Chains A and B, each alone.
Chain A
Amino acid sequence: MSSINGSDIKKVVVACDAGMGSSVLLTSQMSKTLKPYNVTVEHSSVDRIPADADLVLCHSGLASRARANKPGTVVVPFQMFMGDPAFARVEQAIKAGETLAD
């Protein structure tokens, strides 16, 4: 169980299997939504998440790999690649400084 306050998030990593396909798609969307809050968004493979990631977003089917790879970092899983409530939840937490836990 780990948690992080939205105001401490400086770097969000979107992870997928290869780190080249769906994560890139979501990275370009998320970096647009999170730009006003000075949060950088990067993409990577779930097996090679950068060490300085504050928050990891990945599909729930890959979440256990992401957690095994980065214990202690909050992993927010999502179901749908478009319009999943998880994305809004992350934006809201960053905007309002709320706590995110997994």
Chain B
Amino acid sequence: MTTPTPTDSQKPGRFEASRAAVQKFGGYLSGMVMPNIGAFIAWGLITALFIPDGWFPNETLAALVDPMIGYLLPLLIGYTGGRLVYDQRGAVVGAIATMGVVVGADVPMFLGAMIIGPLAAFLLKMVDKVLQPRIHAGFEMLYNNFSSGILGGAMAIVGLLGIGPVVQTITEVLGAGVQALIDLSLLPLVSIIVEPAKVLFLNNAINHGVFTPLGTARVDETGQAIEFLIETNPGPGLGILLAVMFFGPKISRATAPGAIVIQFLGGIHEIYFPYILAQPKLILAAIAGGVAGVTTFMVLDAGLVGPPSPGSIIALMAVSPRGGHLPVLAGVFAATAVSFIVASFLLGFGRSERAKEKAQHTQEAK
């Protein structure tokens, strides 16, 4: 392992193991959401276009909004979560069980779907393990269909009566928590956790495991959500890549321009992580840029109507609400500027690199 971070210098082994475990759990969360991002974007675009204060208010088409967020999106998550645990059979019981948490809830049941979808699939897997070997030849199809049907139906009832109400409370508390952070102007501090976590490849887990569900719920209430902007802001990464392009080590300077295109326009943020992993002090620039960006978003009341995935400036603009493009651009710009300045400072404005190259030149000349 050659990815030193400030915390793993003493116990690389244990750090590595816990990082892999956290990544894996996060991978499950994001694995349920990410394959379905297209549906989230479709919902966000339809909402932005056709709700009463959208671009083209249209009552007929706005009828799509509530069923899509209430049923389609949670069912897709529950289905995908079930499939991760137990393939197609798991997917089906996951979707049936999700129906239980969805019905009767008055918040979008993403968290509930993320819990009950995989849980139902896991239970079916256990049941199959015990019963499948005992099934008489010729009765396999009968068993398979009715075990899914009975277990799925039972889980839907458990979801409706047991899990749904609990998760609804948790979802409301989480949403209120983010709101409290906004009210107390503390939301920018979230970047102190988010930016380092991104670089440890928890970017998808944080964004799609946490912010996409929370943000979608807020859009449903207020028409736009700042949650979508916290992890996806390409500004901090762009600032670091620009600083590396001007002041970084020679080898990084050569690759940075290509990386900028891929990161800022293509939205693949992973591309700047190695530059930070190679020089961990640069994480301070990412944090500063993130804080500056979120502060700007908060002050200017910026938000998006759907998850911008991948986090490209093009995606951000595409899901900005009507009249909401400038605040989003301002936050991206602020994040870029601050992260660039801090990163340039941390790189000594290229002084040490220039000195190194000069020394090399004189050596070669000799």
Which A residues have a C-beta under 8 Å from some C-beta of B?
A: 16-18, 20-22, 25, 45-47, 59-65, 68, 79-83
Asked if residues A60 and B3 are in contact (CB atoms below 8 Å), the reply is yes
Of B3, B201, B255, B262, which is in contact with the most chain A CB atoms at under 10 Å from its CB? B201
Asked if residues B23 and A17 are in contact (CB atoms below 8 Å), the reply is yes
Least distance between A48 CB and chain B CB atoms (Å) = 8
Interface on chain B toward A: helix, strand, loop, or mixed SS? helix
Q: How far is the CA of A55 from the CA of B113 in the complex (A)?
A: 35
Chain A residues whose CB sits within 8 angstroms of the CB of B251 once the complex forms: 83
Asked if residues A82 and B203 are in contact (CB atoms below 8 Å), the reply is no
Asked if residues A22 and B27 are in contact (CB atoms below 8 Å), the reply is no
Asked if residues B17 and A79 are in contact (CB atoms below 8 Å), the reply is no
Least distance between A53 CB and chain B CB atoms (Å) = 18
Asked if residues B30 and A83 are in contact (CB atoms below 8 Å), the reply is no
Asked if residues A81 and B271 are in contact (CB atoms below 8 Å), the reply is yes
Q: How far is the CA of A17 from the CA of B27 in the complex (A)?
A: 7
Least distance between A3 CB and chain B CB atoms (Å) = 20
Chain B residues whose CB sits within 8 angstroms of the CB of A25 once the complex forms: 262, 266, 268, 271
Contact residues, B1-56 vs A (CB, 8 A): 1-3, 16-17, 19-20, 23-24, 26-27, 30-31, 34-35
Which B residues have a C-beta under 8 Å from some C-beta of A?
A: 1-3, 16-17, 19-20, 23-24, 26-27, 30-31, 34-35, 200-201, 203-205, 251, 254-255, 258-259, 262, 266-268, 270-271, 273-274, 277-278, 310
Number of A-B contacts (CB under 8 A): 80
Q: How far is the CA of A47 from the CA of B200 in the complex (A)?
A: 16
Q: How far is the CA of A22 from the CA of B203 in the complex (A)?
A: 12
Given contacts A17-B204, A47-B27, contact A59 B270 (CB under 8 A): yes
CB<8 Å pairs between A and B, sample of 5: A18-B34, A21-B270, A47-B31, A59-B273, A63-B1
Closest residue on chain A to residue B205 by CB atoms: A17
Closest residue on chain B to residue A58 by CB atoms: B201
Q: In the complex, which of the residues A16, A61, A68 contacts B3, with contact meaning CB atoms closer than 8 Å?
A: A61
Asked if residues B274 and A45 are in contact (CB atoms below 8 Å), the reply is no
Least distance between A89 CB and chain B CB atoms (Å) = 15
Q: In the complex, which of the residues A62, A64, A68, A81 contacts B274, with contact meaning CB atoms closer than 8 Å?
A: A81
Asked if residues A68 and B20 are in contact (CB atoms below 8 Å), the reply is yes
Closest residue on chain A to residue B259 by CB atoms: A82
Asked if residues B273 and A82 are in contact (CB atoms below 8 Å), the reply is no
Chain B residues whose CB sits within 8 angstroms of the CB of A18 once the complex forms: 27, 30-31, 34, 204
Asked if residues B20 and A64 are in contact (CB atoms below 8 Å), the reply is yes
Given contacts A17-B204, A60-B1, A83-B254, contact A46 B271 (CB under 8 A): no
State the 10 A-B residue pairs at the shortest beta-carbon distance, nearest first: A22-B270, A82-B255, A64-B20, A80-B274, A81-B271, A18-B204, A18-B34, A83-B255, A61-B201, A65-B20
Closest residue on chain B to residue A84 by CB atoms: B274
Least distance between B278 CB and chain A CB atoms (Å) = 7
Q: How far is the CA of A45 from the CA of B330 in the complex (A)?
A: 34
Asked if residues A82 and B271 are in contact (CB atoms below 8 Å), the reply is yes
Least distance between A64 CB and chain B CB atoms (Å) = 5
Least distance between A45 CB and chain B CB atoms (Å) = 7
